[in-house]
Structure formats: C-alpha cells, structure tokens
Structure 1
Amino acid sequence: MTTDEAGAKRFHGGSETTKLYSYFRAVGRVADGIPASVNYMGGVPYAESLNVTFSSSELDSKILRLCGKDEYTYVLTENNIHLFNRARLQHSVSLESCNVVASFVLGGCLAVLYTERLSFYELPSLAIQNSVDFDGTSEATCFVHPATYLNKVLVGFADGHLELWNTNSSKLVFSFPAFESQVTLLCTAPALDVVAVGLKNGTVWLMDIRKNKRLFSLCHSAAISGIAFRTDINDESQIAVGLENGTVVLWDLESRKIHSTWTAHESVSVATVQFIQSQPILITTGNDNAIREWIIEGADLRMLRSRSGHSKPSKLVRFYSDGEAILSAGGDKSFRSISMIKDSQSVEMSQGSIESISRRAQVSAEDLKLDPIIGFDFFSTSDLKWDNVVTAHEKSPIARTWRADHRKLGSHELRSADNSSITSVTMSSCGNFAIIGTLTGCVDVFNVQSGQHRKHFTGPSFPVIGLGVDAANQYIVQVYSDGTINCTELCNGRTKFSFKLEHTVSKVSFCSEAELLMVALSNHEIQIFDVLGRTIVRRFVGHSLQITDVVFSQDGRWVISASEDLSIRTWDMATGLQLDVHELPSVPVSISLSPKLDFLAVALEGDVAVHIWTNVSMYKPVVFQQFQNHSLSAIESVVDEALLGLVNLSLEPRSKSVNLFHLDSIKARNKPVLPPKATERVPFFLDALLGSSGNQKRDASGAKKNETDDSPSGNHLELCLAGLLRSEKGQDQAFDYLKSLGPSTIDLEIQSLVANSSVELDSILKLIRVITQKIEQRADYELAVTFLNTVLKAHAHLISSYPSEFHSALQNARDTLRSTWSNLETLFHESLCLTQFARGN
C-alpha cells in the first residue's frame, strides 16, 4: 500500500463551482516519501505484480502514515484516522495531535506514536484505549514491537536513547543508554531479543535488548531511512539498509561484509525497505515517485519489476492518439507515456542505455538525460513506420525525434540552422515533416524520415511562441512573442500575410481542421484568429492572471484555458460565451481534453500526478445557463459589443433589389426585336360594344386609345415622390413609399425627379440624405444601397453639373457607406470562417 501526497479532496476545492467536470482520479502517482506498508492476505506471500488493485475515495487532508491488517487499511491524516475496508471508507475519528511519527497494528489495537505520547486505539471502533505520555525531554522518532515481548513497545528518541514501555500498565520498563546520534529507525531481527537500531549518522547497531548489549555496528555514508531482514534463508543472515541518498546496501551478517550496493532511487531518500516474507524479493520506495522490486539470486541482484512516475512536477501534458494514453513531459528530464487503461502500461520513454553508461562512467544518470522538454508535438497513426514525436528542450538548439509505439528516443537530431535555442515545435498533418521555431525568430523544416534539413524561413527577431500547419500542408503559421502572426507558404517560403496583435503572446494553439489560431495575450485575453479570413473572430475575457495553457476540443466546439488565477475556463466557440469555470487549489500549468471529449487532464504546479476529470455532459444534460461567475458580466459586455453594428436586411423579396440594380440589363434583354404591329379590325358588333362605352377612339392606324386614361401618368408619379420629399413630415415616408413599389416603378419614380428648378434639385438632395440616413441606421440595408445606386446613375449628369450643391451630401453618403460596409465585411469573414469550420468537422 502506498499513499498520495495529499488527499484527493484538495483537488475538489472548487468542485461546487463547476457543473461540467467531475473529479475522476490521479494518474502518474505511484509513491512518495511516506513509508509504504506491506500487508499479507493469507497464503504464501508472493509479489506477482505491481498493479493497482484499488484506489481510495477522497480524504480530508495530507496523509501522514498508513498501515494494514487483513482486508483493513488504517490511514492517518493531519486531522483524522480513517478505517478502510479495501476501497470503502468504514469509519473515521479525530486525531489527538497532528505530530504523527509512526503507526502499526498491535494485536487488537492500532498503535500510533506521536512526538510526545504513544496512543492505542481499539479496533475496529477506533476508540481510545490507552495512552502513554513521555517525559518530554526529547521527541519520539520511531517505535517497534519486539517479537515475543507481550504488551511491550520499544521507542526511540531524538537524543539517541531507547525506552521499553508496558502498554497495559503505561509504565516504563527500562531505559537504554543513549547512542551517539539520533535514532531514526528500529527493526526487529529474526533472532529473538535482537533489534536493529538505525542512527542519523549512518550507523546501524545490532543490539540484544534482553542483555542490554550492543553486538556490532554497520557504518554507512548517509542517514538511515530503512532497515529490513531477509527471511527466506536459514543458513545465512542478510540485512538491507536504505539510506537518505537513495542507496540500498545489502549486508551479509555472518561475515559482516557488504553483499551488494546499488542506487535504488536516484538522488532521493529511500522511504521503504521491506523484504517479502519467505521470498528473496526486496521492495523499495522513495521520494522519486517510484516503487521497485529487486530480486536476489545468489551473488546477483537485479530489478524484477517497477512502477514509477515523474519525480518532479509535470510541465506539459497532451492526450495521445485516441485518448488511451497521455504524453507527459516533467521537470525531471523524463518523457512519459501514462496509460488511462492500465497503470502497468505507463512507462518512461527510453533515452538509451543511460543506467549502464552511468555505472561505467561513474556519473549520475540524471546528468546523462536530455534537457527538460518545453514543448512537443506528435502525429498519431497505426501504420506509421518512422518517428512520430518531436520535442524541444530547454535552452537547446537541438530538437529530438521519438518513436511513440516503441516508447523510445528516435534516431534524428534536428539542429536549428542558426544554432539558436528552439522554443517551439510542430509536425505536419501528414507526419513527414517537423517544423521548429527558434529564439531568434527563424523557422526550419526537417524531413522526419531522413532527418534532413529542407527549408529555412526568417521572420521578426523575436522568439517563436507557437507554430501551426494547415491540414493540406500548404502553409505554416508562426506566432512571435511580440504579437506578430506570419503565414508562410510551405512550398516556396513566400509570406502570404502578416498580422500584428495589440499585445504580446504567451500561449498558442492551432486547429488545423478549422484553420483557427488561438493566442493567449499578456492582457489575460484569449483571441481566435481566422487564418483564411485574416481577422480576429472571437475574443474571450475572464482570466485575471497570466494564462498558462490553451487548447481546442477535438470537434472545435470548445476552447479551454488555464490560468495562474487558479481556474480552468471552458468557452463555446459558436456563441463566444463562457460555459464553465473550474477553480482549483493550485495553479494548472497544462491541460488537455481527450479526443472523445470524455476526460480532461490537468497538470498542477508542484504536483507529480496528472489529475483526470470526467466531462459530465457526456453522460447527462448540463444546463450551462445556471452558471454564475464574477466574470459573466464582462463576458456579456463583450457579447453586447459584438452585437453592435449588425446590419438588418429588409423583408422584401431579394429579386426586388437585384432586378432594380440590373434594370438596364433587363430592359435591354427584353427590348422587342420587331416594331409593334397595328391591331387588326375587330368585328362590327365588338366595335359597337366598345364604342358604347364612349371612352375609346381609333387612331389613324385603326388601333384604339383611351380618351380618359385613368392609369398613372408621369405627372402623377412626380407628385407622389416629389410631394413627399417637399413636405417635412413626408420625408420619413419617402423611403417606405419607394419600398412598396416594384423595380420598374421605383426607377421611374426616381427618374421623374427632373430638376427644372431649385425645388426639384432640393428634392434629389433630400432623397440622397434620406437614403444615407437609412444606411447609417443599418436598416433595409440592401434596398438602401440599391436606391442610392439608382439615384446616382439616373442623375449623374445633374450631379456633375452642380458639384458644389451635392458635394456635402455625397461625401456624407460615401463615409457612411464605407463604415457600415467595413462592419458587414467583417461579419462576412466570420460567417465564412464558421462555415469552413463546420464543413471541415
């Protein structure tokens, strides 16, 4: 049994603020500096595997100690003692003090050693049974129950002396003389009355406590942190000693010589040293987040199996392939593949024969590893036969390739052309090319199969923060720290366009399918840039501190961002609204959403584990409208600003504005080829009937014409439109009047405004102003623009004859049209962007 550094509940710190995510588990954490407990469940002990059997529910605070017996596990935190039956919490009681030193099960009670007392809790009720108070001259550091000593406990203290206590009577039985250094560990030997005493100065004393006799000592170069006796051999005795420098020493007690010495945990203290009963297998754990099994075969010793994670906090996480694994880069110079399905499949990517080289060269394996990874990208496919991962390393001019399916370092080193440090990397959509960006603003393209350098591009002399390649491998998008966005054609290196943001850039994410670029700015704002439309289509405001990571969802519907303000925010791309805010107890340094959208992986500052949250919307409805957050008003203000300037089209048929705009072409097309023929004479009785009406006469050609024609004449049309324009109240109705007419009648109405006097000239000016006002109001936009076009075309000769009279009105119309069209053009680009995005997904 191993422990979490802290209870899982601290990762639920803001769970009530999120409706979209629910905490699932932590992956990548194996063990920490808390000593592990080995529990035997009956039968012959045999360590068949190191697979996780179960994981407990959330706890209230940091775990201090744990121990087990049969199917029960007793967990001591800073505040409580918890009783677990396998993974189910059965019972909890409050601790007397948070100064817990050690604990173990003694008969039918749980013995807990504090720095100032020894307490016994009845099982399984955990009621206090007995307590032993020390004199307070020195703090207790460890304790052990000597075999065959009924109701006796041996306690070690910081000043080096030992005390034997009777637990029933709470009386001191004997006080042993002090050793030369602080007692750090006590362990009973297979031989009766013999106890191993580990000291802080690196000495292990074998002592006969019945005779109060020190038998002999074993000296080491570091403080003692673990002791275990081997129990599977009868003809010889061996003891394993763990040291605070990560070394384990195996002694032959008969000859008092060292059998083996090896580094079990690199540069960290050994927390646990425990032989499996009746087996030549030694279990060790340490502060490097690892648990290892070592098997002793005669004079040989080798690692049997191990489980490990990052020994230093993870800096960058990304779901790989279909989401069954997570690629994680840590501050310990390791690159790991963490399985979401089975913990035993989580491994560290091999960097070569580092262990054997370090032993031959007598140097630390840590010094032989590659520099910490600051960025990586991958191309995942099942039939790829070459390296498919590329990594950038801290302050290094060389990027390295990796083979994810083989879980090892690749064969190519990609060095920047100007030998400057690499700041960002990406891979092409086909997986054949790796693109690197440097500290000096240069971009280099390499063939991943051969490792050959193919192209070199230059740009602004600022670090390249992010790179992106479109799905068709036509262009590369480079984002520089000063806010410059360059789009370069991949085939010839020609710059398609350059765009300058208002603020510097901290993080970048590119969605190649939708060709959308997401940038996190220094003003804590997130902007979505449409590469095809070359414009910003979304702005997300809500974070109050620097943004640490941004990602797109696989389908592009969501944008997820993490910030130093201890929050993870989820935004909707379609509406631009914030869907959810998730508050955390520490800073999220990296996030990743699985391709199936079911899990969110988060790496937290100072934490070696990767924490997994489930997407609640995958299995039940989530009402986002119920979300409340202090930044919601700011988001609504951004949306209101986005709604300003929207153009309203008329409800008239589209054919009206189109036919009016092309009326000259329509008239030319419909012009008769032959002249009209005279109407043939009708029979006399029809002529008599028509003549009786008294309102028709024949012309010289025999055709009939109206004597009193009630159809609208030119003068009547002029009076209708011109009359409305002359009256002050009618000017507001002039546009609606024109809107009610057909295309031909509208054209005739406008052309009837013949300026024979200053009155008619004023009518044309008023009509231009009425149309300009409608354009400025963004109402009936397409009809207003078409009416203005018709007026200018019909009276072009008049306008050119009186330029001074029309100058002011036409200049106002031009400025108004330019400003409104600029807003409309922006909306067109946004619509094209979203359409292309939807089509690509």
Structure 2
Amino acid sequence: MLIFASYDNILHAFARNKEVVHTYEGHKARIHLLQPFGDHVISVDVHNVLIVWNIQSEEEYLQIDFDKATFAVSALLHPSTYLNKILLGSEQGTLQLWNIRSNKLLYSFPGWGLAVTTLEQAPAVDVVAVGLVSGHIIVHNIKFDETLMKFQQDWGPITAISFRTDGHPVMAAGSPVGHIALWDLEEKKLMCQMQDAHSTAIAGMTFVPGEPLLITNGADNALRVWIFDGPGGTGRVLRSRMGHSAPPTKIRYHGQNGEQILSAGQDGTLQSFSTVHEKFNKSLGRGSINKKKSKKKGLKLDTMALPPITAFASEVAHQSDWDGIVACHQGYITCTTWNYQKTSMGAHKLRPEEFSKHKPIDIYATAVDITSCGNFAVIGMSTGQVDVYNMQSGIHRGHYGKETAHEGAIRGVAVDGLNQLVITAGSEGLIKFWKFKMKDLVYSTELSSSPSGILLHRDSGILGIAFDDFTISVLDLETRKIVRTFSGHHGRINDMTFSPDGRWLITSSMDCSIKTWDLPSGCLIDCFLVDSAAVSLTMSPTGDFLASAHVDDLGIYLWANRSLYSLVSLRPLPADYEPSLVTLPSTCPMQDVDVSGDEEPCDEMIEYVSPDQLGEQLVTLSLLPESRWKNLLNLDIIKKKNKPREPPKVPKSAPFFIPTLPGLIPRYIPPEEENDTQSKVVNLGILAQKSDFCIHLEEALSTNEYKAPLDLLKSLGPSHIEVELRGLAPEGGGSMEVMLSFLRMIGMMLNKKYNFELAQAYLALFLKLHLKVLSSEPKLLEELSTLSMQLEETWIHLQALFNQSLCVLTYMKSALL
C-alpha cells in the first residue's frame, strides 16, 4: 500500500505514488538503509542508529545505537518466516540476528572477516545470500550457521543480489563496473555474464516473482527490464527507461510538432525525449569511430568512442531517406551524421579532404547547421574554414572564401530558409554573408565585440548574436543592419532561442538568469533566476513549452508559456526590477494550488478603457453606422423612390402579429379595450402630448445637461429623427425654448468636440426644416451666430490637420517611388 523513500535524515511514506501520507523525523544523520516490516518500518542512518517506526502513528517503537568501531551496520534483511526478527550485516564482517519486539540479540555470526555489502533472502527457508566487499558471495544457512556454497566475482564488491523464482535455480549478482553475473545454483558454477548492463555500478536488482524478468537500475540514470528467453541463459533488454548519465549540454526541438527534444550529453550520447509520454523516448546511442570495434570492446575498454557532442542541427525533411542530424564533437575535427528514424549513428563522417588520412589535434569543428531541405550541412572549423557537405552522399561540396572564411575561429554558421545566404560569425568580430550556391562573399560587417554564438530565426529573417561582453544584438537579414541591442546579463551567454513568431528572444546566462526580450518594443518583459545556470534553451515550434538544461543536472525541464492560457501583461520591466528565484519544475503533481495567488498583481492584465476624448485639440466621431445620420438631408428623395406604385392590398386572411411602434428598438402597442360603441369625441389632450425628446430638451434648458436628449436622439432611426426635429417648431407642438435648447445641445457637442459628424447632420436637418422660423426670432439668430463661429473655428483646425497628413503621405509615396 505504501512506498518508503528517504531524503537526507527524513523518511517519507507515499500512497498512490504521489501523495505523502506519513513523515518520520528523528534521525540525526542521513538514512542509508530501509526495511518495511509489517506494521513497522526500519531505518538505519550513517551514524549507526537503527529506529523501528510505527507506520500509522509515526512514532518510534524502538531505537538501537550500535558502536561503529565494533559493529557498523552495512546491510539489513528480514529473513522469511522469522517472526519479529531482522538480520544485520556489518563492515567488520560479523552478522547479528535481533528480535526487535523484545529488543534482544539472539545470535551473532562470526562472518568471514570481510565487510558485508548486501544481504538477500533465497527462495529456500533459512538460506541467505551474503555479498562481501571482496567479490565473494556466500550462500549461508542461518538456522545452523553453515555455508552451503561460495562464489567469487572478479569485478569488485557485490552491490546487489537476486534469485529467480520461476523454477530455474539461478542467482544474479551485480558489480560496481556495471556487469551482471548469473550463477547456476545446482551446478554451483558461473552460467553466463551480462557485461555492460549499465555503464556504472549496479545499484539494485530484483527478479519479478514467478517471471523470467530482471529489473536493474544504476547510477547511469537508467532502469532496464531484462527477459531471459534466449539460449545460454543470458538476458536481453525488454524495456528500458533512461536519461543522460552525465548532464546534457545542448538541447533542440526536433520537427515542427513540438513533441520531441533532441539532447546531447557529456556522456557522449544523443537522445530524444518526448514531451507527450516517456514511452516515446529513445536513445540514438554514443558516437563512435568504428561501431563494430566498439561493440566488441564494450563500454569500459572502448577506445573508439567519440567525445561528447558540443553542437548539432537537425531537420525532418528527407529524414526517412537519409540522415537528418549532423553533430560536431568536443575537440574533434570529424562531424558525424545521425539517423533519427533508425535511432543510430549515420553512415557518413564529414571532415575536410586534406585531413582524410591524418587527424590534427589542434583543429576541430566548432559550429554546424543543416539546410531546411535537409540536403546540405554547413560546418565551421576552429581555423576559420567553412565547408559544405551533401547529407545524402557525404561528399564535400566546397568551402567559403579562398582558403578560410574568417581569420579567427568560427563561432556560428546559419543558412536562411531558401538556401540563398549563409551567415558566418568569426571570433575576430566579423559577420559575413555568402551566396550559398556560388560561395561568393556578399556582405561583411564588423561587430562591436567578438561573438560567442549566433542563432537564426528562418521564418522572419532575424539573426540573434551573443557577444563575449555579455550583450545581445539582433540583425535583420534584409537590411543587414543591427536593429536591436540588449544588455543586462552579468555572465557568459550560454544559449538563445526565438519564439515561433519571432517576437521574443529568450536568453540564458551563467549569472543563473533566464530573460525574455520583446523584439518589437526592444524591452525586457520577463526575467527570473534559477538555482543552477541554464546551459541550453529551446522553444517549442508550437510555442507551448520552453525547455532548459542546467549545469550539473541530468534532467531537461519544461516551462509552460503562460501567455497561451492566461492574461499576461507584457509591459517592460522597470530598470530596478529584482528577479525572483524560481524553483525548477518537478514531476510532483500540484493539487489545490491557486496559481494566481502567487503572482504579483502587476503581472495581471489591466483592461484598458478608452477615454471619450483623447485631447482638447482632437475631434472624436461617434461609433454609429453611417445609415443612422448620413442620409438625413435626403430623406424626402428616399421616400419618393421607395413609394409603392400601387397601394398595398389587404390580404384576405392576415396572420396574427403583435403591432409595434416604429423605431429601432421594438416596443409593443398596448392592446385597446374593445367597446361596442365607438366614441366620436376627440381627446385633445392626447394630441397635445409632448415627445420624450422635447421633455428632455426643456429640462436641459435649466440644468444645462444635454446627455439625456443626445443619447435619445442617437438611439433613433433617420425617419424618427426627422419627426422629432419637425416637432420642435411651434406649429408642430414645440416652442421657441425647445428650439433654443436644441441649438445649445449642438453647441455643447461642438464645444466638447465629440460626435462631430452627428452634430453636422442634426444641425443641417434642423436648418433645412426650420429656416423661416429661425430667421424671424432674434434669440435663435444670436445662438446661430455663436454656433457658426464655433463650427468655423473647429473646421479650420480640422482642415489644417487633414492637409498636413495628406502632405506627409504624398511625400512618403514620392520618396518610396
């Protein structure tokens, strides 16, 4: 039900592989031995203290302190059928059998004068296998204190022992060099060897009960399942989960689906890790000068192994036809090709023709790139030479420059997306552009400092350049100019990566910081610190993950792009911004954690509300469609055109419709009461009723607040607006005060300079309808003259702005042509 794991001096119990249900604290030193024991668990630390814990209550049941000089506990075992008893092995060679319920030493075994490294229960009762530091394995009967059989391995101390329980009397033993020996217990002899099962010491091994399966693990960061189904009794790998046994140095996404990450490590291997599931991981193996000789010699004696990969490039185009990965190795002149689909090293070794017979020590490949079509590889050397090779045949296709492309070592090479240009960077501080096919020099520019590396974003044609003075520049391939320069790192730039759209440049440095630069604005928009510096970065082609590899760390860490699933403010960080230390991502699932609670409020996106008026000198138009105001002066013409030639005929049986009032907002007519006798008396009060617009204008005359009548007018259609403006005159049921209020409303709109086109349309229709009345009233004429001055002043200012803009546009067009 539980899994026990210790970290330093603390012991944890896990349930369902993810939830810590118990924590046991009491040891003063690091725990190095564990033994589950029914309702209890036993732990031993390096200070020789043994504690028996009650699993449920987390309390100490028993504590035993051993004298390190006489009995230093080095192995722990519960013999089968031995109730309440444990067997302890020591570095002095003696063994002790204890009853932990009564806390009594039952028996002491004299041992064999050599330190005990491991104890393992045999399938037979009372029989225990004892592994010694000398490489001896003692199969001992602890009931009668008799040795049944004795074996010896020549590979050093015994690190692990396990017995097969599927009917074959076989014992497996591990060694510090990674070999596994299989012993036949009936014949009492060595049956076979499994050499180089791991590249480091075998840390643990267990046969699956009743199955011919052996599970092993080691310090090489590998977990393997071996199946014994072949002749001779040897095992073959059935399944494996493995990572790098030494920290990765270079990682890059492979392909465009964002699901595979290629990783080159200091252990000399090239591996592919899947971001979907671990079952898709695969290892492309170690680089070797001669694969056949390497397999014969084995991992330990392999003199043909190539040094670790320092740089590589990959393309998926034509990877099913020939090799799609090219890599250069540390201090080695030859570049190797790799096949992703065959998961192995490729067929070709790429090196200049003049070095085909001898390989100089002081000349080596420094940079590599592969074309987007997958046909050619461009390799830069430490001498400044840049060569082109065919990936299908491995044939040398020429080099750039007369002898060398640069005077100094090549720090980076890149090929554009259309195979037109090759960009090379030299340590002397020059960036050169070459024609890819003709090998001619197109352009050369001198940099401010010596570059340490370059990175090209092919889709947008921008080149990131990292310098030795810890600055970063961005060069545009079209104009061949430096368009952005960033400074802020305080250590060597380790790696760079672009976002898929080319808007962000993400950099990592030896100052343990990872920074995100926004290229359009030229600002730093994100920065955080990590415990160990990131040596390599790569951004997913789909933009969902950023992967990082760190100093002295075997893992590859994935960072989620928060801008894909939450609102993130991309404002520039202030100059005095102090980055916070972020813990590296882990596989532990987060439960009931409010992510937004940990974020600073400044990181949240603040919704921008546009003001009604941007400035006092600017004119703002309304957001109404043109159909609501543009045709107000032409309504009579439109009505004449739309007038039907024949009067509409009443249908014989009209369908039932709820009658509505005219207007943009539908309002239903209240049902009339049916009376048998219709009254012929006309109700004059109903005819004299004023509209809402007139009432609002009368109120605004005293309060000077014209928002209500203007909003009402903006909600009406053109025909309704004409009816409302006709009704402002005295003969239409209005008054001079209402007309004066309307003119003041137009004056307010012109004064505040908003709804400018509505003010023009409403005033034009008002003048067209009531010009005779306006000319006969002195108060209205005075208001009209004030309006005329306002209108003329605003229009002159607006016309000056129009003319200035048109002049600038004409000049720009002529300059471009």
1:556, 1:359 → 2: CA distance?
44
SS at match of 2:14: strand
Which is bigger in relative contact order (C-alpha 8 A, separation at least 6)? Answer: 1
- The match for 2:14 is 84
Q: How does 1:251-400 map to 2 (within 5 A)?
A: 251-297=183-229, 299-303=232-236, 304-321=238-255, 322-350=257-285, 357-358=293-294, 360-361=296-297, 364=300, 366-381=302-317, 385-400=321-336
Structure 2 match to 1:578? 524
Q: Give, in angstroms, the shift of residue 344 of structure 1.
A: 1.8
Distance in 1 of aligned mates of 2:570 and 2:137: 63
Q: Which amino acid in the other structure matches residue 88 of structure 1?
A: E
Query: Which amino acid in structure 1 is aligned with residue 44 of structure 2?
Result: L
| Inter-partner Cα distance in structure 2 for 1:474 and 1:400 | 25
Q: Does 1:226 align with 2:226?
A: no
Residues 439 and 463 in structure 1, CA contact (< 8 A), matched pair in contact too: yes
Shift of 1:428: 1.7
Distance 1:629 1:227 in 2: 60
CA distance in 2, matches of 1:387, 1:359: 22
**How far apart, CA to CA, are the structure 2 residues paired with 1:604 and 1:383?**
29
**Residue 733 of structure 2: aligned partner:** none
CA separation in 1, counterparts of 2:544 and 2:22?
A: 33
Unaligned runs of 5+ in 2: 356-362, 580-616, 618-796
Amino acid in structure 2 at the alignment position of 1:289: N
One-letter identity of the residue aligned with 1:604: H
> 2:384 maps to what in 1?
441
Cα contact 2:516–2:527 (8 A) shared by 1 = yes
The residue matched to 1:435 in structure 2 has which SS?
Answer: strand
State the Cα RMSD in Å: 3.0
SS across alignment from 2:258: coil
Structure 1 residues 632, 159: CA separation in 2 closer, same or farther (over 3 Å shift)?
Answer: closer
SS of match in other structure, 1:83: strand
Alpha-carbon distance in structure 2 between the residues aligned to 1:363 and 1:332: 11
Alignment correspondent of 1:242:
174
- Which SS does the other structure have where 1:589 is aligned? strand
Deviation at 1:384, TM superposition (A): 5.5
Q: How much has 1:97 moved relative to structure 2?
A: 2.7
Inter-partner Cα distance in structure 1 for 2:180 and 2:78: 24
Name the residue aligned to 1:568.
Answer: 514
Query: How far 1:122 moved relative to its partner?
Result: 1.5
Q: Relative to 1, partners in 2 of residues 1:629 and 1:600: Cα closer, same or farther, differing over 3 Å?
A: farther
1:96 lines up with 2:27 in the alignment: yes
Whether 1:477 aligns to 2:423 is yes
Give the Cα separation in 1 of the matches to 2:454 and 2:287.
32
TM-score normalised over the length of structure 2: 0.66
Letter of the 1:581 partner, please give it: C
Q: Which moved more, 1:433-442 or 1:131-140?
A: 131-140
Which residue is equivalent to 2:485?
Answer: 539
Whether the aligned pair in 2 keeps the contact of 1:105 and 1:111 (CA below 8 Å) is yes
Q: Using the alignment, how far apart are the partners of 1:95 and 1:536 within structure 2?
A: 62
Shift of 1:358: 4.3
Alignment deviations for residues 461-496 of structure 1 (CA, whole Å, 9 cap, x no partner): 211111111222111100112321111112322212
Aligned partners of 2:547 and 2:36: how far apart in 1?
38
Aligned residue runs from structure 1 range 412-561, under 5 A: 412-417=348-353, 419=355, 420-457=363-400, 458-561=404-507
What's the CA shift for 1:363? 6.9
1:265: Cα distance to partner?
3.4
Matching residue of 2:674: none
State the partner residue of 1:405: 341
Question: Does the aligned pair in 2 maintain the 1:417–1:444 contact within 8 Å?
Answer: no
Judge which range, 383-392 or 539-548, deviates more. Answer: 383-392
Task: Provide closer, same or farther for how the CA distance between residues 139 and 448 of structure 1 changes in structure 2, counting only shifts above 3 A.
Answer: same
In structure 2, relative to structure 1, the CA distance for the partners of 1:91 and 1:630 (3 Å cut) is: farther
The 3 A distance-change label for structure 1 pair 308 and 482 is same
Moved more, 321-330 or 179-188: 179-188
Secondary structure, counterpart of 2:235 in structure 1: strand
What is the distance in 1 between the residues matched to 2:346 and 2:279?
A: 23
Moved over 6 A (4+): 351-356
Aligned-partner Cα distance in 2 for 1:631–1:508: 28
Cα distance in 1 for partners of 2:188, 2:9 equals: 44
Query: What residue number does 1:198 align with?
Result: 131
Which one-letter code corresponds to 2:240 in the other structure?
A: S
For residues 332 and 390 of structure 2, what CA distance do their matches in structure 1 show? Answer: 20
| Distance (Å, rounded) in 1 between the aligned partners of 2:319 and 2:107 | 72
2:149 corresponds, among 216, 230, 234, to: 216
Matched, 1:174 2:107: yes
Whether 1:189 aligns to 2:147 is: no
Equivalent residues of 1:81, 1:95 under 8 A apart = no
How far does residue 179 in structure 1 lie from its aligned partner after superposition?
Answer: 2.7
Conserved? CA contact 2:191–2:233, under 8 Å: no
Residue 146 of structure 1 corresponds to which residue in structure 2?
79
The structural deviation recorded for 1:352 is 9.3
Q: Distance in 2 between matches of 1:84 and 1:403?
A: 41
Cα drift, residue 316 of structure 1: 0.4
151-160 or 168-177, larger mean C-alpha shift: 168-177
Question: How many residue pairs end up in the alignment?
Answer: 575
1:528 is displaced (CA, Å) by: 0.9
Q: 1:417 to 1:555 in 2, by over 3 A?
A: farther
Instruction: Give the stretch that moved more between structures: 291-300 or 428-437.
Output: 291-300
Q: Mind listing any 5+ residue stretches in structure 1 that lack a counterpart?
A: 1-69, 634-650, 652-739, 744-778, 787-823, 833-841
Counterpart of 1:517, as a letter, is: L
Instruction: Provide TM-score, normalisation by structure 1.
Output: 0.64
Aligned residue for 2:303, secondary structure, equals: helix
Distance apart, 1:359 and its partner CA: 5.4
SS of match in other structure, 2:234: strand
Change in Cα spacing, 1:546 to 1:320, as seen in structure 2 (3 Å) is same
3-state DSSP class of the match of 2:67? coil
Compared with structure 1, are the counterparts of its residues 360 and 406 closer, same or farther at alpha carbon in structure 2 (3 Å cutoff)? Answer: closer
Rounded Cα–Cα distance in structure 2 between residues aligned with 1:256 and 1:299: 16
- Alpha-carbon separation, structure 1, partners of 2:116 and 2:575: 54
Counterpart of 2:382, as a letter, is L
